Amino acid sequence: MINPLWYQKSQAEILEQLNTSAENGLNSKTVQQRSGEPPNVIEEGPGTSPLSIFFKQFTDTMVIVLLGATVVSGIIGAMADAITIMAIVILNAVLGFIQEYRAERSLEEIKKLASPFARVLRNGKKLSIPTRELLTGDIVLIEAGDRIPADLRLLESSSLEIDEASLTGESVPITKDPWAALSGETPLAEVANMAFMGTGVTRGRGKAVVVATGMDTVMGEIARMMKNEKEDLTPLQVKLGQLGKYLVIVCLLVCTLVTLMGIYRGEQVLTMFLAGISLAVAAIPEGLPAIVTIVLALGVQRMAQRNAIIRRLPAVETLGCTTVICSDKTGTLTQNKMTVKKMATLDHTIMVEGEGYNPTGRFILGKKDIDPGEDKAAGILLEVAANCNNSSLEKQKGGYRISGDPTEGALRVLAAKAGFNPEYARLHEIPFDSERKLMSVVIDRHGEPVLLVKGALEVIIARCTSVMEGGKVTVFTSRHRNYLNQLQEEWANQALRVLGFACKKLSSSELAAPDEGKWENKLVLVGICGMIDPPRTGVKDSVRVSRQAGIVPLMITGDHPVTARAIAAEIGIAPEEQVIAGPEIDQMSDEELYRGAIKKRVFARVSPQHKNRIVKVLKKHGHVVAMTGDGVNDAPALKAADIGVAMGITGTEVSREASAMILADDNFSTIVNAVYEGRAIYDNIRKFIRYLLGCNIGEVLVMFTASLLGMPLPLLPIQILWINLVTDGLPAMALGLEPPEPGIMQRKPRPRDEDIFARGLGRIILGRGIYIAFVALLAFAVGMTVSRMNGVQDLGMARTMALTTLVLAQLFYVFECRSERFSPFELGFFTNRFLVGAVLCSVFMQVLTIYWPVLQNIFKTVPLDGWQWLLILFISGFRLLGKFILYTWQRLFLSGFEYGKINA
């Protein structure tokens, strides 16, 4: 991604190669010669027109089926059905268009990360030019608050720090060093002598030469990967597409056979033609895509209430079959808030509690709460933390925020927890410098000048001649040095960043004649503190639940391996302490990388290409991969994954636009909640597929079997359409609102390539279809026999019995479809009140068609007597009655009764 020549060569070599001057910049002649270079912008690519995106929505197989059903409904005069189906198709197209159009904006958002103007030197003069006009060799001036306009090789710096979290995942700004000597392949996060396009300057200033612009930058390479990345169809899209193709073929064959056999038997051609078309309309579950969309949309609403925002509806189902979650560390598993967890003096170590930037927390020594201000050395340490500090702590709606450097912010919060605030006048400041690795201030403590110093422990130790121990200042000995070094090593293994604190009294004469070099020597060391970007609250439990659900969590971060290992161990991701670093990935084959990912589960110092490769290797081995992230560097992997999960608070707009789901609270636990919802929703999709197809197969088999047996038509075309309306509407939709079953997160994820009819669903659907057809034909035969025994040749009563039996058999069947494991009595008959209401409504509609004269004339029905209702209720509800008897008997007489054992 980054040309090693730029960070390996000396400044003089680069300036000579680019024909530029550090003092004067490019001259007019060179600017003119290079004016033909590509502009310093991120290429958008040809893109896709909004019109083509819209018309693409009508190419799905099920949509084509629905369009066919619309035409057929119009032919037979069922205009209400035709209008309803067309409305469904257009609504789905509009929703799909909106979602895809938003996704196309990802590359545009990358462009916004570049600052609009840059300060450069040309012909020895300072100019402000649009960043798109930057050329290689331009000398750029940068300072705190700037966004880096291109990839730069640093020439000079003063306390320069750059926030590269969006590229590297580092939780703290990177201290830059223009004179750093680097060799070999160096991870992006460790290239200290360069600055990269799109990152932000948090401290200091510098001068640099442009070495890469536009698509040649690290940001440009990320944009190129995003542009070339293709999104796979989700499992649900694939399965519904296959289902649609099967339905078209089967329905056309069966309906054609029914029509031809009826004509062959002597039925009227027009009657059989209408019956065949009506049967086709009834057989094709035109409500299936609509119900899928509605159920997914309702799931999206529930997820939004739990802080998971879904950008693409099929992502809900995809989450339910996720087998691997590739998670960034900073801001995803951790809080992205540096927090002091420990502080130590030469006398004792104090644990510090509290979350994030909230200035409340306990100080614990041993097992007791203490006031650290009562200890002299700890009190001075806190005094240094509060006063040798340029950050500020601000209260805002919903919590607190830090303005300034994150490390200083952590110290500001530490001091505030103990009640220490900057209360002394500042007489002098020696700013932090990357070479000295120190910051010092002189305060006026009750009329006495005192120097307060903080910085890297090894630098502090080298400048101290005394320590504070037992409340007294004593000589700094090798014993003290060994103790502090041992403590630093121990804390570093826990991913704690260690800082040292010291002080020194100054005389009036020293203050009057400032000598910063002498001031920062012969210091008194008072203690150290260890800080970390801590794991989010609840993330450990979420990792445990995800592993229990058969999901493998991976940490993929650009942060340091030691930090990654410590965080992974704390939250339970890694089964062992080994970490795979970025350079190792380049040496691994795909098979080695896959084994390492599943076994070690922690990757550190990775680049965007590494993330992409990890995701693709996992997918190649059959995993359904969810990738979480918040930075620009995560965007290509978010698109490559089966489902990209972006952070809503800390995430960049680029990562959000590239994702399928956004976490509004940036909480890893929300992903687990989303998986739970995804599994429940997929279960519900299978439930109403089971219901709709079982019912439709029953309707087709009634007509087909009657034709085979030479029987009269059991149902008229208008009656077939009525069954379709009264059973395929409200009950199926209510079935999609079924609450999640018990133990849903104790299951293993279903296989990626699992067929929609897997686990015996196809057998169940066919069996129930045959049963529904059998009882309907039985009712028709009984009605026809009774009519003929009474000398009545009209088939009105027989068809009314068949119609009512079909309707009630399907309504009884809908309760069986509530679970593939539990019977409706185990679940509780009224736990889905929507379903009970829908069934009662459908029963009422059916009764109206039988007893209301207006509907009797339309649907050619006759009133039924008591014995007919008893027969219909018994044969249509026989299976459900048998399950109730079995459930009651097992509960009363079997002590070892287990739920989920009787829904055969």
Name the phi and psi angles at 660, rounded to 5. Answer: -100, -20
Q: What DSSP assignment string belongs to 851-904?
A: H-HHHHHHHT-----HHHHHHHHHHHSHHHHHHHHHHHHHHHH-TT--TTSS--
- Per the CB < 8 A criterion, the answer to whether 697 and 765 are in contact is yes
Residue type, position 673, single letter: N
Residues 6+ apart with CB under 8 A from 320: 675, 677, 678, 679, 680, 681, 682, 749, 750
Task: Give exposure, 212-250, as e/b (b: 16+ Cβ within 10 Å).
Answer: bbbbbbbbbbbbbbbbebeeeebbbbebbeebbeebbee
**Kind and range of the H or E element at 375?**
none
Residue in 727, 719, 669 with CA at minimum distance from that of residue 696? 727
Kindly state the tokens that stand for 267. 């039925």
Residues 6+ apart with CB under 8 A from 825: 883, 884, 887, 888
- Per the CB < 8 A criterion, the answer to whether 580 and 592 are in contact is no
Other CB atoms closer than 10 Å to residue 103's CB: what's the count? 18
Kindly state the tokens that stand for 796. 């009105």
Helix (H, G, I), strand (E, B) or coil at 454: strand
Residue type, position 720, single letter: I
Q: What DSSP assignment string belongs to 176-227?
A: P-TT----SS--GGG-TTEE-TT-EEEEEEEEEEEEE-GGGSHHHHHHHHHH
Q: CA–CA separation, 321 vs 750, rounded Å?
A: 6
**Strand 324-327, strand 625-629: pairing:** parallel
Alpha carbon 459 to chain centroid, angstroms: 43
**End-to-end Cα separation, the chain, in angstroms:** 58
DSSP-assigned letter for residue 279: H
Residues 6+ apart with CB under 8 A from 357: 337, 393, 399, 400, 401, 402, 409, 413
Q: Using a CB cutoff of 8 Å and minimum separation of 24, what contacts does 650-653 make?
A: 650/331, 650/336, 651/331, 652/109, 652/113, 652/166, 653/109, 653/112
Task: Give exposure, 649-677, as e/b (b: 16+ Cβ within 10 Å).
Answer: ebbbbbbbbbbbbbbeebbbbbbbbbbbb
User: Which residue's entry shows tokens 């009140």?
Assistant: 833
**Strand 523-532, strand 552-556: pairing:** unpaired
Region for 207 from its dihedrals, namely left if φ exceeds 0, alpha if ψ lies in -120 to 50, beta otherwise? beta
**Catalytic residue IDs:** 328
Strand partners, 440: 430, 453
Q: Percentages helix, strand, coil for the chain, rounded to the nearest 5?
A: 50, 20, 30
Residue in 341, 380, 329 with CA at minimum distance from that of residue 165? 329
DSSP-assigned letter for residue 715: S
Helix (H, G, I), strand (E, B) or coil at 118: strand
Q: CA–CA separation, 390 vs 409, rounded Å?
A: 9
Kindly state the tokens that stand for 541. 């439990």
Residues 6+ apart with CB under 8 A from 904: none
